Every structure is written in C-alpha cells, then in structure tokens.
C-alpha cells in the first residue's frame, strides 16, 4: 500500500538493436513519444540496451532519477526479461517492477517494409507497457521445502538406473513396479545393439543392486493409486498386491513343479508355459515366487489344492495375505513407466495371428534367447525347424497414419540389424532379407553394425510387402511388394517372417497422466517441459521422465535420460527448497463467495474449498501460475499477481485509445502463441501491422471481460491464441479458453454481431506461419467491419466491459 | 502385459500333467453332489445310474482334466471317492 | 530457357483435400504392389511413382499416360500406411489435365489397356470413369472401339499357335480374360456358362446405369471373333461332370465361377414377403422383371458394393426412401468410397454402426426392421474392429422391402475333392500362378478372392492365362 501512495516514476528505454529495430522503426521518435506519456520521467533510445553499457545506463538512471518502474522496448521478454530484471534488482528495484515492450520480433521484423506503420505500432506497444508498468507491484517469490525422498514409477532399465543413481547420492528411493519382477523390456531382449552385449547379463547385476540397496525400497507387484500434493511434498498411495509367498522363499522352484495349472508365460510373449505359482524368469528381482490368483484353484479362501504348500520346505506360502495400501511422502517423482509394443493383428494383410510363421520382433527375442522357450534355437513355430530364409518387415505400426502411430519408433531398425547378425552368427547359411522404407542408423556405432550386417550379406530391400500369403501346405510365406529402388515388383518366399513392431504408449498411461496431472503429446507419450532445454522435466514441478514413457528410445538413451532425471531430481532435493515465481493468485477474502468455480478449473488442484471458513484456499507451491482461476472467478476475488485485471485492462485501454476500429487486440499465451508470434518474427514472416499482442501466461487467463472491454472500446477484432488442445503448458487450462470463447460467440450471435470478429487460434511455438496467416486473414476481415458494427459492439458490451 | 497370446506355447506338449485315476465307490455315495460342485476342474457330473442307496452317484467326464487335488475326497462325507496318481509305465 | 512457370501440385490439386498428405508418402511401395493395374501393365504403370511425380514434377505427371490408368479399386488406399486416397488424388489431377487440354495421354493409356486386357469398354464404363474427369464418354467409347479393332487386326496377323484345348468355367471378367489371352496365343478355348447369356456378374448383377448391356455385348463379340467358343446354359455339375472335361481332351481348366451365393443372416423374419437377397434382386432387375418398388421404403443391409448397387437401383425404380444400414463405420466399409458418395448424393441414406435384430411382418409382408446400435470393440483377426451391440439401443425402422447384401460366397460343390478350399470357402490358389491344388486346374476372380472388383478379376485372369500358357508349353 505504501507503493501506491508513492509517486510513480517510469523510465523508458527504446533499443535500436543495431539496425534490427532501428532499420524499420524510428526509435528516436518512439522515445520522444514515450516521454510524453503519463508517469514517464525519462525516455531514451539506445543502440544496444542489453550491452553492459546499456545495463549500466539503466542502473545509473534508477539511482539518479529515483525511477521506480522500468520499461525496455526491445526484443521479446522470452529472451532478455531475466537480464533486465537482474539489472533492476542490482539497482535496488524489485524485479517485478520491470516491464518489456516487444518491438523487435513482433514489430520491426514482421513489418520490414512499412516504417511508418511499424513506428506507430512500436509507439502503441510502448504505451501499453507503460500503462501496465504504472500498475505493477513489487512481489516476493516464495520458498517451498522439499522432502528428500523420491518415488520412481516403473522398474525397467530406466527406473532401475534412476533409483540406483538417486540412492547412491544418498536419497531414499521407493521403486514401484506393476509386474512381479523388475527388469521391464530389457530383461526380455536377448542381445543389445550396437555392442551385442547379452541383455540380461548386463541388466541382472543392476537388478540385484536394486534389491540389496539400503536406500531403495522395492515395491514390486504394486501400483500407484493416488497422488496428492505438489513439488517437494507429494503424498502417494501405493497398492501392494499380495504375492501369497513370503520372503522366506528361496526360489528353489519346488512349488512350481507340482502346481497343476499352466498358462502362457507373458514374459516369454506367450511362447512358453508357466504355472499358477511361478517366477517370470530366472533372474527375477525380487526372486520370491508369486501366485497368480486368476489361475490358482484356491479362490475365495477355499483351499482346494495344497500341493505347493506341501512342496515348500521353508513353508513360505501364505494364502492369507491381503492387499495393503502403503502411504509414502516424497519430494520428487520420476515416471519411468516404459512402453508397449504394437499389436500387428490389426494389419490383416500381414496375417499375424493367423499365420503361425509370422512372428513379432519381441517373440523373436524370446526365441533366440538361450533362456527362452526354444533354448536359443530360432525355430519356426509351425514345425520347430530352423528356417533357411528369414524376412524382416520394418515400420510395422510405426510412421503410419492408418494405425494412428505417425512417429518413428526409434529402435526397430537397429534391432532388426542386430537380429539379422544374431541369426548369421548362429546359422551363417541363413538367407536374410530386410524390407524397409528408411534405415535409421544414426547413433554411435550404429553405422558400423549396419555395415556388418551388409557385409554378412543380409539383403536390404527398399519397399514394404503389401501382403503376406501363406502356403497352406508348407506354411511358407509369400511376400508380395515392390522394390521401390528398382521399381520392380517382388514375390519372395520365406520360411519365417519377423514383423519389426513399433513401440507405443502404455495403455495405462492415462491413469498415470491423471494421477500426476501430466500432459501427453499427440502420439500419447508424456510431454516434457521443453523439448530442448528441459527434456526430462514434466510441466508439473517436481516430476521427471526417464525412458520410453517420454518417447520411444533405446537402452542407452533410456539410461542417459534416467541419469539426467536423477540429476534433475537430485538438484531439487539437494537444495531442499524451491522458489516459485510470484505469479500465483491472491485471494481477496472479503469478495470470495466460496462458489468453488476456481477449484474446478484449476489444473493443479491447487485451490481447495474450505467449507467451514466459506472461502477457498490457495496452495501457492502447487500453483502453476496459469491464471485461469482469476479468469473464472465471478466475484473478482482472485487476482493473478503480475497479470492483474487492472494491468491487462490498462493494456487494452492503451491499444484502443486511438483508431481502435482499425486494430486487432490479440491475447497470446506465453508458451505457444506468443512464442509462435516471436517465431514469425525470427523467420521475418511479414503480416499486417494492425495487431497488438497482450501476453498472458496461459490463454486460460483471458477472462471474457477482457474481450468485452476490447469490443466495448471499439476494437475491430479480437484474437485469443493458445497452445493446441492437449499441448497446454498448464495441463488443460486452455480447455477453459475454448469454453469461454464459445460462450462469447453465442453472446455475439444473440446480439446480432458477427462472431468472426472474435477468433480463436491454436498455434504452437513452431507455427509462425500459422500465426502470420491468421493475422493476414483477420486483416481482410477487419477491412469489412463497418462503423455500424463497431458501434453495435460498443453498445452490446458497454456494460460488461465497463469501459 | 500388453501382448495378445494367440499361439499354443511351444512347450505345451512337454508340460507334465499328473495322470489321475479316480475311484468312485458308487454304493457308498449318498448323492450329496459336493464332489461335483466343488471340483475345480469340473471333472465330475451326475450319472444316470442308481446305486444301492437309490441315488445317482457321480461319473467321471474327463479323467485327463483331473489334477489330483483330492478336494473331492476331502469334501465327501461318506468316503466314497478318492484319487490316485497313475503309475507311469511305458507310453503314458 | 523456359520462362513459363511450372505447374505445382498445389495448383493441380487445388480442390483435393488429400493434396497436402502427398508429402507424407514414404514410398513404401505398398500401393504399387497392391495395384491390379500395375500388375496388368507391368512396367507401364506405377501409382507410387505417379504420386511422386505429381508432387515434384507435376507437369510430367499431367502429361503421363499413367495418370489415366488408375481403375478405382481403392486397394492401395485400404493398405496405404498413410491412408492416401490415391484414386481421388489422381481424379483431381485428371480434371486439371482435361481442363488444360492434356488429353492425348488418355488415348495412349487406352491403347495400352486394349493391348493388355479384354473388355475395354466394360472397363472404361465401370473402372476408369473418364467422365468423372470431364471427358465425353461416347467419344471415348468410340475411340476405344476403334483402337481395339486396330489392335486385333494387327494381332491376328502374327498369332502364335500353342497346342492344347482349354476349358474356362464361367464367363465373368476373369474367365473372359483367360479366354482372350489364350485365344491370342492360338489356343482353342471353350467357355462354359451356366446362365443363358455370357458375362457372369457383369450381366447378372451390374446395374445397367453403370454398364449398358450393348457395350458388354460388343466386348464379348470381339472375343468371339478371336475364335473363343462360348457355350451358354451349360453348368458343370448339373449338365456334365467336372472330370469329364479331361476326357473331352481339355489339357487345362480355368475356374472363374464367381461368387453367386448370397450369405444368409439368421434372424427372425427373413422368410417374409418383401425380403430379398441382393443378388436375386439385382438379377430380377437385370432380367427385366421389375420388382415393385415404387413409393416403398427400402432398407438395404450390408456395406459392400452390392449393397450400394441395390440401393441405387431401388432409388431409380422409384422407391420413396432408401437407406443402407451397415454394422461397422465408414472406414471399415468395403464398398467403393466413391460409389458410396455418389449414392448419398442421389439421396440414399447411409447409416453406420447398426445391426438388424429381427424383421417384423404384417399379413406375411415386411412391415419393419428392428435394429440395435453397435459400438466397435477391439480389433479382430481380420483387422477390423469387432462390432458389439449396445444393449437397450434398439430402434425400429419401418420398411416395405428389405434387401440383404451381407456378402457373397462362391458355390463350389461341383469341384472334385482334390481342389482344396480356404477357410472362407473360396478356392485356394498359388498366389503366383493361380494354380489350384489339382494339377492343370487354375482359378481366379471372385471364386478365389471373394467379392472384389472387375479389374481385380481381370488381373487374376491375366496371371492365370500366363501360367496356363507356360503349363501347356511344358506339356508340349
């Protein structure tokens, strides 16, 4: 409140950025204009404001001219906001009293050939920034303590690596695995590329380390069923399903031998049998046997068969075990849930599921594995003979629109090359054909392996078979396709066909997504916070990804990512506390009517309704800072710090002060739309200069009253732009955007307004052209908007907009 | 597990299954039907014949299915049924 | 230097919704390997190549004969990993080509086809559809006729003479192709047809709006000038025994009997008056016996081409309201997507994800059909999603006439046991030679594949003919 009484003294710096800005904007004139604005005590133009000299200039002015707000008109805040904030702090000014006007990416670079209009636009942008700056308030970032324990979900190679790294660093780790044993996909593979190491031989020691590590608590045969809390303070419930075998088990296997019930073993892709009491594979960790209650005869506590009990010398079998719920408090969570393989029976032309000798690459791994069902002999399932001619078909369930899996599965090419070498190693006479569309041997040592396969005379044919036809007598398979390099059809006969199946998101990803409020890409894999610079962080604080949960990857990449995730989680836990940007909502207790609407729209469950106190409560540490609660609140009780209603309204008013009927007011979310507009600038895509962009963190912050205010003040058109649905950086806050815009459209139609004047655009940070063409399209639109229509909109929204 | 298992496992034929020999003492049966009801593999059914006690004793449907859990022996109130493992000779 | 701006695919395919998808072709070759025309014309047609040309060198694609060789069977689309609708992409390019006067390539394409296949008039009317691209059908047909005459007279001068009598059972497109190819080689070919007139499905079932019979007659007559004997009204198994053909001196036999047996649905009310099998319905219409459809509400059950034909005919015969009801979704529908679209434009209603439960009648006549809505479950072994009825979603649809078109199967009881069948009840053949499990007997067409397109039957006939020729040469 003290600040409010204080005289507001704003300093404005208009940057030339060499000729980047000055080339199409008259910076001097903009600075002159800025000086005339209310509260501005000084305005200067400068060649490179971000240079050391530029920074010193600002610091000096702050001290000498008692500036208490600073506006820099230069590049995008996504680039230099942190720089100038630091400058302010060093000069003793709170960093939240700084504001930027983006006159490079969103002005000079996109209006290279219209100096006059670009200069006018730059003036407007400075005016908006000054208007907002006058209303800025200082803020302190809050600190949250972090529990120094981690939860790892998934015990494949990635989960194992994360758990070991964190445990070795000294943190307590809970490793939750759904299956009876850890090991995941890697345990099922025979050899690894490009080194041809035996997969289980290099994995088993790690698995047993996990089993013995004093800092790791392994919860196998368990599932995460509930997660509450926020970064540093997660409260997790894990359902530990009974094994019905106590830890006294020595894994001697006597019980399994006497068990009368058999079923296909999942670990062996159904190629071998297991019993109702079993261990999935010899090296399993924990090695304790387990009883599959779906198969066991002793159901509903009726003891029908006691053979295993009798066979067990250690008396380790206990049918009275019950599921239990374990509650954990952890500071960080690492998602390493892995991947599923594509089911090729959905491709009828390949006959998988019908033709015995068409197998998947995973089935192949079990067949070629010495510990597998055939003892390492690659056999044809139809007659158990060793095949002489083998074909691999690539991209089965990858890179295909039809199967809905448009991505490259990353590992299949190298896996096939490795497999072909394995066959050649054991049976050098085997003829091997690989049918592919592109061979991707991009990693270290991959090309050498590819060359080796070629050297061993594996034949690579470009062109996938269109269909496989089985000869019913021999069970051999005809592959019919086109060699696209020779432009010749082929019809080739093989003894065994291996479908190189792609990887796909786990079918239970949705559960994890919901429990941890994560987002997924269109492919269905979990989405990282930033594809380049934060590749293992989830958008939700305190959660990290490792392995195929994030995208298909090979073992090396999984392990690399796992160690990265461990390091990222370790950084948080080592610090023991985290600061949260001061853009969280502030509640006006007097105004809150406890309607609870905000609790429903909050993507982070950071707002809870306290029925006793008749108000909501905000958990600042859990808040992501999207501001959709503030947009939703019907009684204006919630305000998002640094993006307050007053500040945004002031920006709108600044835009619409002159020539509003020629302007487009655009609200862009920081992450996708604003970044997309920046990208258009960086790429020098030219578009009409009549748009004025107002930045919010999320399009979910755009309250209907902002749009109404813009129309009430005579704006020709309004654009609301955000991330594509599903890509929202605040999980799903942009679904609220959509709802609000749809409501506004209805209102406009009811009042006889052309709803086209309000546009909604989903655009990614990479879709600069999409943004630019939208503005071009809207320019055509506003040229047609008549003064009568503008006046009508003013009248319709006069009350609501409060202009 | 995600994969669909449609094949017969390769070692399906090798799986050792106990060979059962089910003995029913027909005239000792009073027809309570417990053995039929509780058999986990549904190996028994009611027969048409009438025994000395005027009831239908059970009959074996498929001896191969029996896994010799001997639960029938346990539940029979009249000690009228028991199962032995067939001694393996050549060709069994 | 050429200063004219090159045409881009964007201009040529301006109206094609799939145009942008062109970029995502990875050239896996599945389209070409699936294409019956590519096989028929070997190196002269390659849809994958054409697609690529269209993308990077549009002008060359527009002036290429290949553009006109797609026969609309949609086999490529059904298998393409990117689900590219090649026939429709090519159609837009064809329209563009016609508009800009590139029509010579079409004539060259016809010339190529006439050399490679019989029944050119039938194929133009039912497969190539030049009219969709804006060409005048009559001119095209006349020109084709001319080209064929030139080709035949040229060919007759230098015919080979292979020894051996060949019997062809069935005079559909597959059988006629075999006869044509072998007659050109000088073989003595006799075609046996059970129906009174030759043509098989072409005559019996194809609606006359799609194939006016005069053109079918012309095509068959041209065959007869090559010396092919066609004996109609003679059915194997009814009038003579299959094995007696060997005794009569035939060295090789081709079976192209088609799929003429309508599959039946086991629900209540199929015996009511007004319930038809689509094949019967089409046969009646085509034999001039006009079923009374006027002003009626017609319900067609099924999703294949036969269902679509039946519906469109019913509409043409004056039905008041015609609907097709199919139990899966549009993506699974086996009918030609273009024909479905045309049917819808004509006013046929198509409803998906519904399955009939019973037909109720009044005074022995159809009154209504009860349907249940379906949801699609997991994929089954045929690669289609399994239809699962939604309980409580039953609804009743009034109907005066119900036509079942739920699939056709071949009737193969006359065949000797040595010829093995597949699980689906079709003849098993070696896919490379079209030879059956009995030496000297070959098969092709719907009897092998189940209901399929004319062009696929011609392709099968072509392959079989080559194998028979080879076989006869081996016999000496």
CATH number for the domain that contains residue B54:
3.30.70.20
Domain ranges of chain A: 1-140, 142-241+323-338+506-579, 251-320, 342-503, 584-621, 643-803
Residue among A799, A801, A790 nearest A757 (CA):
A790
Phi, psi of A731 (to 5 degrees): 65, -75
User: Which residue ranges form the domains of chain C, and what is each CATH number?
Assistant: 9-117 (1.10.1060), 159-260+410-475 (3.50.50.60), 262-407 (3.50.50.60)
Dump pLDDT digits (tens) for B37-70.
989 888 999 999 999 899 999 999 988 889 888 8
Chain A contact set for C79 (CB, 8 A): 349, 466-467
More confident residue, A3 or C370: C370
CB contact (8 A) between residue B11 and residue A353: no
Q: What is the dihedral of CA C210, C211, C213, C219, to 10 degrees?
A: 180
- DSSP code for A733: T
**Cβ–Cβ under 8 Å, residues A482 and C48:** yes
Fold of A142-241+323-338+506-579: FAD/NAD(P)-binding domain (3.50.50)
d(CA A553, CA A560): 10
* Inter-chain CB pairs, A–B, below 8 Å: 71
Report yes or no on B8 lying in a domain.
no
Dump strand ranges (E) for A269-400.
273-275, 277-278, 290-291, 324-330, 332-335, 339-341, 358-360, 389-396
Q: Give me the residue label for tokens 């067949």.
A: A367
Of B9, B41, B69, the CB nearest to A273: B9
Beta pairing class for C261-262 and C408-409: antiparallel
Instruction: Report CA Rg, chain B.
Output: 16
Of A471, A484, A489, the CB nearest to C27: A484
The mean pLDDT value of chain A amounts to 93
| Preceding amide of C178 cis, omega within 30 | no
Phi-psi region of A182 (alpha: psi -120 to 50; beta: other; left: phi over 0): beta
Q: Please state the rounded mean pLDDT for residues C269-288.
A: 90
Dump pLDDT digits (tens) for C378-419.
766 666 778 889 988 999 999 999 999 998 899 999 999 999
Q: Nearest-CA residue of chain C relative to A403?
A: C81
**Cβ–Cβ under 8 Å, residues A569 and A150:** yes
Confidence of residue A803 (pLDDT cuts 50, 70, 90): very low
Report yes or no on B77 lying in a domain.
yes
Q: Nearest-CA residue of chain A relative to C431?
A: A469
Of A179, A304, A507, the CB nearest to B71: A304
CA distance A298 to chain B (A): 9
pLDDT at B90: 52
pLDDT at C5: 65
Domain residues for B29? 20-85
pLDDT at A341: 94
Dump pLDDT digits (tens) for A281-324.
999 999 999 999 999 998 877 888 889 999 999 999 999 999 99
Report yes or no on B24 lying in a domain.
yes
**Cβ–Cβ under 8 Å, residues B68 and A306:** no
Tokens encoding B33: 């039907």
> 3-class DSSP state for residue C311?
helix
Residue among C443, C440, C438 nearest C460 (CA):
C443
Report yes or no on B7 lying in a domain.
no
Q: Please state the rounded mean pLDDT for residues A243-254.
A: 94
pLDDT at A800: 61
Q: Please state the rounded mean pLDDT for residues C184-200.
A: 93
Chain B contact set for A358 (CB, 8 A): none
CB contact (8 A) between residue B18 and residue A260: yes
Confidence of residue B8 (pLDDT cuts 50, 70, 90): confident
Domain A643-803 has CATH 3.40.50: yes
Report yes or no on B6 lying in a domain.
no
Domains A1-140 and A142-241+323-338+506-579 share a fold: no
pLDDT at B7: 86
pLDDT at C382: 63
pLDDT at C238: 87
* CATH label, A1-140, candidates 3.55.50, 3.40.1350, 1.10.3470, 3.40.50: 3.40.50
CB contact (8 A) between residue A348 and residue C383: yes
Q: Is the pLDDT of residue B11 over 60?
A: yes
For A694-724, b/e burial (b = at least 16 CB within 10 A) is bbbbbbbbbbbbbbbbbbbbbbbbbbbbbbe
Residue among A332, A239, A405 nearest A575 (CA):
A332
Confidence of residue A529 (pLDDT cuts 50, 70, 90): confident
Report yes or no on B1 lying in a domain.
no
User: In the complex, which subunits touch C with 3 or more CB pairs below 8 angstroms?
Assistant: A
Best A156, A259, A304, A337 residue to mutate vs chain B (most B CBs within 10 Å) = A304
Phi-psi region of C200 (alpha: psi -120 to 50; beta: other; left: phi over 0): left
pLDDT at C266: 86
d(CA A114, CA A235): 57
Q: Is the pLDDT of residue C157 over 80?
A: no
More confident residue, A358 or A623: A358
Please state, for a pLDDT cut of 70, what percent of chain A lies above it: 99
Q: Please state the rounded mean pLDDT for residues C328-339.
A: 89
Of A348, A403, A489, the CB nearest to C33: A489
Q: Is the pLDDT of residue A418 over 70?
A: yes
Kindly report the number of other CB atoms within 10 A of residue C235's CB atom: 15
CB contact (8 A) between residue B69 and residue A362: no
CA distance A438 to chain B (A): 26
d(CA A195, CA A449): 9
* ipTM score: 0.90
Q: Is the pLDDT of residue C377 over 90?
A: no
User: In the complex, which subunits touch B with 3 or more CB pairs below 8 angstroms?
Assistant: A
Q: Is C238 exposed, middle or buried (0-12, 13-18, 19+ CB in 10 A)?
A: exposed
Residue among A228, A289, A207 nearest A253 (CA):
A289
Confidence of residue A768 (pLDDT cuts 50, 70, 90): confident
CA distance A273 to chain B (A): 6
CB contact (8 A) between residue A491 and residue C81: no
Residues of B contacting chain A (CB within 8 angstroms): 1-7, 9-12, 15, 17-18, 38, 40-41, 67-69, 71
Confidence of residue C422 (pLDDT cuts 50, 70, 90): confident
d(CA B42, CA B67): 11
Q: Please state the rounded mean pLDDT for residues C301-306.
A: 93
Q: Nearest-CA residue of chain A relative to B42?
A: A297
Kindly report the number of other CB atoms within 10 A of residue A307's CB atom: 20
**Number of structural domains chain B divides into:** 1
Q: Please state the rounded mean pLDDT for residues C320-330.
A: 92
Q: Nearest-CA residue of chain A relative to C35?
A: A466
Q: What dotted CATH number matches A342-503?
A: 3.50.50.60
Chain A contact set for C30 (CB, 8 A): 464-466, 481-482
Q: How far is CA C174 from CA A389, A763, C126, C191, C433, in A?
A: 34, 53, 15, 11, 14
Best A267, A305, A341 residue to mutate vs chain B (most B CBs within 10 Å) = A305
**Cβ–Cβ under 8 Å, residues A479 and A468:** yes
Residues near A64 by Cβ (< 8 Å), separated by ≥ 6?
Answer: none
Residues of A contacting chain C (CB within 8 angstroms): 343, 345-349, 353-354, 395, 399-403, 437-438, 462-467, 469, 471-472, 478, 480-484, 487, 489, 491
Dump pLDDT digits (tens) for C104-153.
999 999 999 999 999 999 999 999 999 999 999 999 999 999 999 999 88
Q: Count H helices and E strands in chain C, helices first.
A: 19, 16
Confidence of residue B1 (pLDDT cuts 50, 70, 90): very low
Chain A contact set for C46 (CB, 8 A): 482, 487
Q: Please state the rounded mean pLDDT for residues A176-187.
A: 96
Q: Is the pLDDT of residue C341 over 80?
A: yes
Q: In what helix (H) or strand (E) does residue A33 lie, and over which residues does it extend?
A: helix A27-35
Chain B contact set for A351 (CB, 8 A): none
Report yes or no on B75 lying in a domain.
yes
Q: Is the pLDDT of residue C1 over 60?
A: no
pLDDT at A391: 98
pLDDT at A346: 85
Q: Nearest-CA residue of chain B relative to A306?
A: B69
Helical residues (DSSP H) of C73-212, grouped into ranges: 75-79, 86-99, 104-116, 120-123, 137-157, 173-184, 201-204
Report yes or no on B5 lying in a domain.
no
d(CA A243, CA C129): 67
Q: Nearest-CA residue of chain C relative to A353?
A: C381
Q: Please state the rounded mean pLDDT for residues A200-219.
A: 96
CA distance A314 to chain B (A): 21
pLDDT at B2: 43
Dump pLDDT digits (tens) for A490-509.
999 999 999 999 999 999 99
């Amino acid at each position: 409140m003290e600040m409010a009484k204080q005289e507001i003294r704003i300093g404005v710096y208009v940057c030339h950025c060499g000729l980047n800005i000055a080339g199409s904007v008259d910076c001097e004139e903009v600075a002159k204009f800025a000086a005339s604005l209310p509260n501005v005590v000084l305005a200067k133009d400068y060649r490179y404001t971000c240079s050391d000299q530029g920074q010193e200039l600002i610091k000096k002015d702050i001290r000498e001219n008692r500036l208490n707000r600073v506006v820099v008109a230069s590049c995008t805040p996504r680039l230099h906001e942190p720089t100038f904030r630091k400058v302010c702090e060093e000069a003793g000014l709170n960093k939240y009293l700084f504001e930027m006007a983006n006159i490079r990416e969103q002005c000079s670079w996109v209006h290279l050939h219209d100096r006059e209009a670009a200069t006018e636009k730059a003036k407007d942008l400075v005016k908006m920034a000054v208007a907002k700056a006058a209303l800025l308030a200082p803020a302190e970032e809050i600190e949250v303590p972090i529990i120094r324990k981690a939860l790892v979900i998934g015990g494949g190679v990635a989960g194992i690596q994360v758990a070991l790294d964190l445990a070795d660093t000294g943190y307590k780790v809970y490793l939750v695995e759904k299956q009876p044993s850890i090991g995941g996909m890697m345990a099922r593979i025979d050899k690894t590329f490009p080194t041809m190491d035996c997969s289980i031989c290099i994995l088993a020691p790690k698995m047993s380390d996990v089993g013995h590590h004093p800092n790791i608590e392994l919860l196998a045969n368990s599932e995460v069923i509930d997660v509450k809390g926020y970064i540093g303070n997660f409260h997790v419930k894990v359902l530990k399903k009974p094994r019905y075998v106590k830890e006294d088990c020595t894994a001697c296997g006597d019980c399994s031998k006497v068990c009368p019930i058999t079923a296909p073993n999942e670990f062996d892709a159904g190629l071998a049998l297991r019993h109702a009491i079993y261990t999935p594979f010899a090296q399993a960790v924990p090695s304790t046997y387990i009883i599959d209650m779906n198969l066991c005869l002793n159901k509903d506590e009726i003891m029908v068969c006691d053979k295993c009990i009798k066979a067990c010398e250690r008396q380790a079998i206990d049918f009275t075990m019950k599921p239990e719920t374990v509650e954990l408090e952890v500071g960080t969570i690492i998602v390493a849930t892995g991947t599923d393989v594509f089911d090729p029976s959905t491709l009828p032309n390949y006959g998988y599921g019908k033709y015995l000798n068409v197998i998947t690459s995973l089935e192949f791994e079990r067949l070629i594995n010495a510990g597998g069902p055939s003892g390492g002999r690659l056999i044809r399932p139809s007659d158990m003979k060793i095949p002489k001619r083998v074909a691999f078909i690539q991209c089965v369930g990858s890179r295909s629109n039809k199967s809905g899996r448009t991505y490259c599965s990353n590992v299949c090419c190298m896996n096939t090359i490795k497999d072909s070498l394995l066959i050649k190693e054991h049976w050098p006479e085997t003829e091997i054909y690989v049918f592919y569309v592109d061979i991707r041997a991009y990693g270290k040592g991959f090309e050498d392996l590819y060359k080796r396969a070629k050297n061993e005379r594996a034949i690579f044919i470009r062109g996938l078979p269109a269909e496989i036809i089985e000869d019913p007598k021999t069970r051999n398979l005809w592959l019919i396709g086109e060699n696209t390099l020779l432009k010749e059809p082929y019809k080739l006969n093989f003894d065994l066909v291996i479908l190189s199946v792609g990887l796909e998101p786990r079918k239970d990803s949705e559960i994890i997504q919901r429990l941890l409020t994560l987002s997924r890409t269109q492919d269905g894999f979990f989405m990282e916070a930033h594809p380049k610079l934060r590749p293992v962080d989830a958008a939700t604080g305190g959660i990290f990804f490792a392995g195929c949960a994030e995208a298909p990857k090979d073992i090396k990449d999984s392990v690399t990512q796992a160690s990265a995730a461990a390091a990222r989680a370790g950084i948080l836990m080592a610090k023991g506390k985290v600061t949260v940007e001061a853009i969280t909502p502030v509640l006006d207790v007097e105004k809150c009517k406890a309607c609870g609407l905000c609790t429903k729209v909050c993507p982070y469950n950071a707002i809870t309704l306290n029925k006793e106190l008749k108000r909501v409560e905000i958990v600042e540490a859990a808040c992501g800072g999207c501001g959709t609660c503030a947009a939703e609140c019907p009684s204006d009780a919630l305000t998002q710090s640094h993006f307050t209603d007053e500040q945004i309204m002031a920006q709108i008013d600044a835009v619409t002060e002159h020539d509003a009927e020629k302007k487009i007011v655009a609200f862009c979310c920081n992450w996708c739309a604003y970044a997309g507009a920046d990208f258009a600038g960086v790429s020098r895509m030219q578009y009409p200069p009549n748009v004025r962009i107002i930045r919010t963190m999320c399009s979910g912050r755009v309250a209907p009253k902002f749009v109404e205010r813009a129309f009430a003040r005579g704006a020709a058109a309004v654009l609301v732009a955000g991330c594509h649905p599903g890509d929202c950086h605040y999980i799903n806050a942009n679904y609220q955007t959509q709802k609000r815009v749809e409501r506004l459209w209805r209102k406009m139609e009811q009042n006889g307004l052309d709803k086209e004047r309000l546009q909604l655009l989903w655009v990614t940070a990479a879709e600069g052209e999409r943004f630019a063409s939208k503005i071009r399209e809207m320019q055509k639109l506003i040229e047609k908007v008549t003064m009568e229509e503008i006046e009508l909109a003013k009248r319709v929204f006069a009350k609501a907009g409060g202009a | 597990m995600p994969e669909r298992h449609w094949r017969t496992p390769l070692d399906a034929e090798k799986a050792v299954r106990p060979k059962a020999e089910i003995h029913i003492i027909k005239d000792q049966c009073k027809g309570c039907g417990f053995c039929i009801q509780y058999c986990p593999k549904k190996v028994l059914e009611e027969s048409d014949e009438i025994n000395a006690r005027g009831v239908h004793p059970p009959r074996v449907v498929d001896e191969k299915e029996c896994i010799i859990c001997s639960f029938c022996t346990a539940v029979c109130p009249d000690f009228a049924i028991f199962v032995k493992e067939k001694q393996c000779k050549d060709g069994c | 230097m050429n200063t004219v701006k090159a045409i881009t695919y964007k201009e040529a395919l301006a109206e094609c919704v799939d145009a942008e998808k062109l970029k995502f072709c990875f050239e896996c070759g599945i389209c070409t390997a699936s294409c019956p025309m590519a096989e028929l014309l070997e190196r002269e047609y390659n849809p994958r190549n054409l697609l690529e040309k269209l993308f990077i060198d549009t002008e060359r694609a527009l002036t290429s004969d290949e553009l006109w060789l797609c026969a609309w069977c949609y086999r490529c689309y059904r298998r393409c990993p990117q689900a590219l609708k090649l026939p429709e992409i090519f159609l837009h390019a064809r329209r563009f080509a016609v508009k800009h006067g590139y029509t010579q390539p079409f004539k060259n394409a016809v010339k190529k086809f006439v050399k490679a296949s019989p029944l050119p008039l039938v194929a133009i009317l039912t497969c190539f559809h030049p009219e969709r691209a804006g060409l005048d059908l009559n001119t095209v047909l006349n020109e084709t006729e001319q080209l064929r005459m030139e080709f035949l007279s040229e060919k007759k001068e230098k015919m080979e003479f292979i020894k051996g009598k060949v019997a062809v059972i069935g005079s559909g497109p597959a059988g006629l192709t075999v006869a044509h190819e072998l007659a050109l080689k000088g073989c003595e070919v006799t075609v046996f047809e059970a129906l009174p007139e030759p043509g098989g499905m072409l005559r019996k079932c194809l609606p006359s709006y799609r194939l006016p019979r005069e053109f079918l007659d012309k095509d068959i007559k041209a065959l007869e000038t090559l010396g092919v004997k066609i004996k109609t009204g003679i059915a194997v198994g009814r009038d003579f025994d299959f094995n007696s053909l060997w005794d009569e001196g035939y060295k090789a036999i081709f079976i192209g009997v088609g799929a003429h047996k309508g599959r039946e649905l086991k629900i209540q009310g199929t015996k009511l008056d007004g319930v038809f099998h689509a094949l019967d319905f089409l046969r009646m219409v085509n034999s001039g016996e006009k079923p009374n459809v006027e002003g009626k509400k017609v319900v067609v059950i099924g999703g294949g081409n036969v269902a679509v034909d039946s519906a469109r005919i019913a509409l043409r015969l004056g039905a008041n309201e015609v609907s097709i009801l199919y139990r899966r979704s549009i993506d699974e529908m086996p009918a030609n997507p273009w024909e479905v679209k045309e049917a819808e434009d004509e006013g046929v209603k198509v409803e998906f994800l519904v399955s009939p439960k019973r037909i109720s009648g009044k005074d022995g006549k159809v009154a209504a059909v009860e349907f249940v809505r379906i949801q699609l479950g997991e994929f089954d072994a045929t690669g289609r999603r399994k239809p699962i009825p939604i309980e409580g979603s039953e609804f009743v649809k009034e109907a005066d006439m119900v036509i079942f078109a739920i699939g056709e199967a071949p009737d193969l009881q006359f065949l000797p046991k040595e010829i093995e069948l597949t699980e689906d009840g079709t003849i098993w053949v070696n896919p490379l030679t079209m030879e059956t499990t009995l030496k000297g007997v070959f098969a092709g067409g719907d009897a092998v594949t189940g209901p399929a397109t004319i062009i696929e039957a011609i392709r099968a006939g072509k392959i079989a003919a080559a194998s028979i020729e080879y076989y006869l040469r081996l016999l000496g």
